[in-house]
Amino acid sequence: MTPIEENLHHYFQLKTLTQRFLTFPLALAFVWRAELPSAAQAPTRSPGLDEFRKYALTHEGDVARGAKLFADEQKLACAKCHSVDGRASKAGPDLFAVGDKFGRRDLVDAVLMPSAVISPGYGTVIVETKAGVEYQGILKQATAAGVQLMGADGKLVFIATTDVKEQRGSTVSLMPEGLQAGLSLQEFTDLTEYLTTLQQPESALVSNHGMPGVIPQLVKPVTVRPFFSEPLRLPQGKVQTGLTAFHQVPGLSNVFLVLHQKGMIWRMEKTAASEEKTVFADLTGEVFYERGPNGLLDLAFHPKFRTNRKYYLKYQVFEEGKVATIIVEKTFAADFKGDSGQPARRILKIVSVAEDHSGGCLQFGPDGFLYIVMGDTGPHNDPNGHAQNLQLLLGKLMRIDVDRTEGDLAYAIPADNPFRARADARPEIWAYGFRNPWRFSFDRVTGDLWLADVGQDRVEEVDLVHRGENYGWNVYEGFEPFSNQYRKDGRYFTPPVFAYKRKYGNSVTGGCVYRGDKQSSFYGVYLCGDYTSKRIFGLTQENGTLKTVRQIGSIPQGLVSFGTDEAGHIYAVGYEGMIYQLDFTAARFDDIKSD
Ligand code: HEC
Of 297, 290, 265, 426, the closest CA to residue 361 belongs to: 297
Q: So what's the pLDDT on residue 182?
A: 86
Higher pLDDT, 1 or 111: 111
pLDDT beyond 50 at 41:
no
- Span from the CA of 68 to the centroid of ligand 1 (angstroms): 17
Confidence of residue 100 (pLDDT cuts 50, 70, 90): confident
pLDDT beyond 70 at 561:
yes
Q: How large is the average pLDDT for residues 66-92?
A: 88
The average confidence (pLDDT) of the chain is 88
Cα distance between residue 417 and residue 494, in whole Å:
18
Q: So what's the pLDDT on residue 302?
A: 98
Question: Ligand 1 atom 16: the closest Cα is on which residue?
Answer: 118
Cα distance between residue 469 and residue 502, in whole Å:
26
Q: So what's the pLDDT on residue 35?
A: 38
Cα distance between residue 562 and residue 585, in whole Å:
19
Cα distance between residue 399 and residue 417, in whole Å:
7
Cα distance between residue 376 and residue 347, in whole Å:
20
What percent of the chain stands above pLDDT 70?
Answer: 90
CB 481 within 8 A of CB 180: no
Question: Ligand 1 atom 22: the closest Cα is on which residue?
Answer: 110
pLDDT tens for 178-233 read 899 889 999 999 999 999 999 877 655 445 889 998 999 999 999 999 999 988 88
The reply to whether ligand 1 has any atom less than 6 angstroms from the CB of 549 is no
Question: Ligand 1 atom 38: the closest Cα is on which residue?
Answer: 78
- Span from the CA of 387 to the centroid of ligand 1 (angstroms): 28
pLDDT tens for 467-521 read 999 999 999 999 988 888 999 888 899 999 999 988 899 999 999 999 999 999 9
- Span from the CA of 218 to the centroid of ligand 1 (angstroms): 36
CB 588 within 8 A of CB 260: no
pLDDT beyond 50 at 26:
no
Question: Ligand 1 atom 36: the closest Cα is on which residue?
Answer: 78
Q: So what's the pLDDT on residue 369?
A: 98
pLDDT tens for 229-266 read 988 887 765 556 899 999 999 999 999 999 999 999 99
pLDDT beyond 60 at 20:
no
The reply to whether ligand 1 has any atom less than 6 angstroms from the CB of 459 is no
Q: So what's the pLDDT on residue 21?
A: 32
What percent of the chain stands above pLDDT 90?
Answer: 70
Q: How many CA atoms lie within 13 A of 180 on its CB side?
A: 26
